[in-house]
Structure 1
Amino acid sequence: MHDSPEVRDVLILGSGCSGLTAAIYAARANLKPLVLEGHEPGGQLSITTLVENFPGWPEGVQGPELVDNMKKQAVRFGAELRMAHLTSVDLLRFPFEVQVGKDIIHTRSIIIASGASARWLGLPSEQALIGFGVSSCATCDGFFTAGKEIAVIGGGDSAMEEALFLTRFASKVTLINRSEAFRASRIMLERAIEHPQIHFLHNTVVEEVLGVEERDVRGLMLHNRKTGERSHLPVQFMFLGIGHEPNASMFKGQIDLDDDGYVKTEHNVFTTRQGVQLHGVYACGDVQDRRYRQAITAAGTGCMAALEVEKYLEELGK
């Protein structure tokens, strides 16, 4: 095992919108940040097609292009990006110790920007159409559903929120739940039931998303788990409302996580251990944001984390 002889000033875990924004700010402060790109380089933006709500792009921008521009900007100011998957992290010693494969990296500060991964059904046809009518973000892609019939998958509050939001655009929303009962809170379920544009399918699962060859959702093949009946639902978009999985399990026991595994933060970026602020470790973006999950909010917290790292390192005399 090879130990790095140097101690980094700042290590950024993740290369999505929050991590790259943190890298830009840290690099401009001459901190020479090292960014570990992780198992999903570029984060959620890398699987997004047209982004129309990021300021400064009046005609919209492709998600991968936006990520690539952020990378170029960070590198221009001196950030180093490394394609690497985190093996383990030790936040109980200082300098902090991070293992990547056979290498060990020591660092005075860490910015956790590892994001959250959307939960998918896992169908090959679904995966092929992500960004082409299959989405996990209603607020990102709802605008494109104007006047169209769409489906929302799920039975919890996330699915109800997505369905209700999408009624602003879509002509009809079919909410597909795999069981008879819903996990959603009573108030959210009642709002969805009372809405005239929302229709429900119980005990139903999606077997296939149609339109792979056309690169455009053309409908869903459904299976009723109770009756065994198979049917075709003619929709033009499918939204997943079954939640997100924060990429923070490796930090369990070292920093505070909430019941769903999101990093608990104070003032958006400060991490804690047993309720006490943990100096030198910060979190930003979707790994700590279960509420907004937008590119612009991720960028904002990435900026905040980098500014706090700069202050922290100044206090250390670095």
Structure 2
Amino acid sequence: MLEKELVIVGGGPAGYAAGLYAARADINGVLIERGMPGGQAAATEWIENYPGFPGGIGGIDLALKMDEQARSFGLEIMTADVEKIEKQGAEFMVTTGQDTIKAKTIIFACGSKPQFLGVQGESKFHGRGVSYCATCDGAFFRDKTVAVVGGGDAAVEEALFLTKFAAKVYIIHRRGELRATKVIQKRALANEKIDFVWHAVVDDVLGDNQVEAVRIKDVRTGELSQLAVDGVFIYVGTSANSDLVKDLVETDSRGYILANEKMETSVPGLYVAGDVRQKTLRQVVTAVADGAIAAMEIEKYLASLED
């Protein structure tokens, strides 16, 4: 059995920032990531809104730089699946497919994932016209035509954001009215760049090498039609990757972990960082801020255990 002061679960920007700060603070920790570094950031083709990279940087490139920098300060990184996290007294037991680690503290940074439509073409064109983040990818669609799928606050707010770049934005919604709050609805209905496709769902995403159109189905009649677009932004919900700790910590109704501004959860010693935390903005820049705060707070927490 391994013993650590800190286990960081998740190797996205939040996890790597936490690991970097923890390593610099000489905390005996390990970061566990089951796949390639970077999380959702690594799946983003191009990131233009992270400070320090004029002209932008590829998501994979940014993730690899984070990995290199964290390792340069001595962060231990383990590639493994975390199978279970348990609280035993004042400590935690983290079980992987390889070993069990006893830890004094944990930073849980497993992120969130978009809910998919599950239609033909969606996965094929992910990163080539299909997106789940207008803030990340909207600027790539300057003067083009895009569709936004969904009718809640996130969908309509992102549609409004996309009008800064796109020439035309279609909102495709399965109902005859939006579910977004009234003030957001009014803005969208008044925006001349936005058209609405009511009582419709996306049946297929079409194209050759890039998105060229979506096939939509009228939910009342079953009639199929085709809408020419250059991109599709999907907002039918997100879900938090919080299953490993959902029985330990307090979460909201969607599974996002509740924490204060120190990243402290309802369980002493268990901190959270990044997209899995309940927050208003999920971006690389907010994830790394969470990770840095969590690591510094853990340094104080560990010191208090020695008092």
Q: Which residue of structure 2 lines up, in the alignment, with residue 237 of structure 1?
A: 231
Does the aligned pair in 2 maintain the 1:47–1:130 contact within 8 Å? Answer: no
Does the aligned pair in 2 maintain the 1:7–1:95 contact within 8 Å? Answer: no
Say which of 246, 258, 262 aligns to 1:252: 246
Say which of 88, 91, 94 aligns to 1:95: 91
Does the aligned pair in 1 maintain the 2:37–2:63 contact within 8 Å? Answer: no
Q: Which residue of structure 2 lines up, in the alignment, with residue 116 of structure 1?
A: 112
* TM-score under structure 1 length normalisation: 0.91
Say which of 281, 284, 297 aligns to 2:270: 281
Helix, strand or coil at the partner of 1:75:
helix
> Would you say how many aligned residue pairs link Structure 1 and Structure 2?
307
Say which of 294, 297, 307 aligns to 2:286: 297
| Ranges in structure 2 where 5+ consecutive residues have no aligned partner | none
Equivalent residues in 2 for 1:110-189, closer than 5 Å: 110-189=106-185
Helix, strand or coil at the partner of 1:239:
strand
Q: Give how far 1:123 is off.
A: 3.0
CA gap 1:236/1:260 in 2 versus in 1, 3 angstroms: same
Are 2:92 and 1:71 equivalent residues in the alignment? Answer: no
Q: Give how far 1:122 is off.
A: 2.2
* TM-score under structure 2 length normalisation: 0.94
CA gap 1:15/1:205 in 2 versus in 1, 3 angstroms: same
What is the percent sequence identity of the aligned residues? 39
Q: CA separation in 2, counterparts of 1:36 and 1:191?
A: 44
Q: Give how far 1:92 is off.
A: 5.2
Structure 1 range deviating more: 72-81 or 57-66: 72-81
Q: Give how far 1:80 is off.
A: 1.9
Q: Could you list the structure 1 runs, at least 4 aligned residues long, displaced by more than 6 angstroms after superposition.
A: none
Q: Deviations over 1:252-281 (max 9, x none)?
A: 231111122111111151112xxxxx3211
Q: Give how far 1:309 is off.
A: 1.0
| Ranges in structure 1 where 5+ consecutive residues have no aligned partner | 273-277
RMSD over aligned Cα atoms: 1.8
Amino acid in structure 2 at the alignment position of 1:315 = S
CA gap 1:41/1:179 in 2 versus in 1, 3 angstroms: farther
Does the aligned pair in 1 maintain the 2:252–2:278 contact within 8 Å? Answer: no
